[in-house]
């Protein structure tokens, strides 16, 4: 019997503890909800105040713009009333420059001279001499009637038996037989010394004339 009473007391204590905790939770939630609503109302009032302030500022700006336009309008009228001065163009004065010609001093004419034997042609001197007849380069002088020849081109043959257009050459050796050769003949050509130019059978040398 005594144990039963103790069990009843403990269950009642547990039930009371649960009820107290639930009530405290409910009261806490109610309190927080009221604070949240108050904050929302404050923020709404603030935003409404901001909107009202912005609209007031816009209206003030509009009034200022209208006043500025009113102040600018008379300035435009003043500009219209002012007449700009008419500029009269000045007559152009033509400046003439007179060139004073200096008297020309006549320079003496330039003269040239040439060495003895030369012929003057302006500022050049020419000397003309006869060209010299010589055998072509690389050939030998054979004398008349042999003329010019190349012994390297000679072919051994019998006496006076050379073909037409070739000349025979007799070679006599002491203590040996006489031999005959045929070779082509070359005509003599005109030549000039260094510094001269061949012109036909003449050689011409040209130098600068001396300025006096």
Q: What Rg do the C-alpha atoms of the chain give, in angstroms?
A: 70
pLDDT band at residue 204 under the 50/70/90 scheme:
very high
Any idea which of 36-40, 73-77, 137-141, 149-153 has the lowest mean pLDDT? 73-77
At residue 56, the pLDDT reads 65
pLDDT of 174-203, one tens digit each? 878 888 888 888 888 999 999 999 999 999
Tell me the pLDDT tens digit for each residue of 84-136: 677 777 777 677 777 777 777 777 888 999 999 999 998 999 999 999 989 89
- Confirm if 109 and 212 have CB atoms less than 8 A apart: no
CB 121 within 8 A of CB 174: no
pLDDT of residue 199: 92
Q: What does the buried/exposed string (b/e) look like for 126-154 if buried means 16 or more CB atoms within 10 Å of the residue's CB?
A: ebeeebeeebeeebeebeeeebbbeeeeb
**In whole numbers, what is the pLDDT of the chain averaged over residues?**
78
Q: Which of 32-46, 53-67, 146-160 has the highest mean pLDDT?
A: 146-160
Regarding pTM above 0.85, the answer is no
Q: How many CB atoms lie within 10 A of CB 162?
A: 18
Q: Which pLDDT band, with edges at 50, 70 and 90, does 46 fall under?
A: low
Between residues 48 and 160, the one the model is more confident about: 160
What is the model's pLDDT at position 55?
65
Largest distance between two CA atoms of the chain: 189
């Amino acid at each position: 019997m005594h144990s039963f009473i103790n069990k009843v007391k403990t269950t009642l204590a547990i039930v009371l503890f649960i009820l107290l905790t639930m009530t405290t939770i409910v009261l806490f939630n109610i309190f927080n909800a009221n604070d949240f609503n108050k904050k929302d109302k404050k923020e709404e009032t603030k935003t409404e105040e901001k909107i009202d302030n912005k609209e007031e500022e816009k209206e003030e700006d509009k009034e200022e713009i209208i006043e500025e336009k009113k102040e600018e309008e008379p300035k435009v009228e003043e500009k219209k009333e002012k007449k700009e001065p008419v500029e009269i163009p000045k007559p152009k004065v033509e400046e003439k420059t007179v060139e004073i010609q200096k008297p020309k001093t006549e320079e003496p004419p330039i003269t040239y001279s040439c060495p003895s034997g030369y012929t003057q042609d302006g500022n050049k001197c020419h000397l003309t001499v006869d060209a010299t007849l010589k055998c072509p380069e690389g050939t030998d002088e054979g004398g008349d009637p042999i003329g010019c020849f190349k012994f390297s081109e000679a072919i051994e043959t019998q006496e006076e038996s050379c073909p037409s257009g070739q000349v025979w050459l007799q070679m006599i050796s002491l203590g040996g037989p006489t031999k005959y050769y045929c070779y082509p003949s070359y005509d003599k050509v005109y030549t000039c010394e260094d510094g001269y130019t061949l012109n036909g059978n003449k050689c011409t040398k040209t130098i600068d004339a001396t300025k006096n």
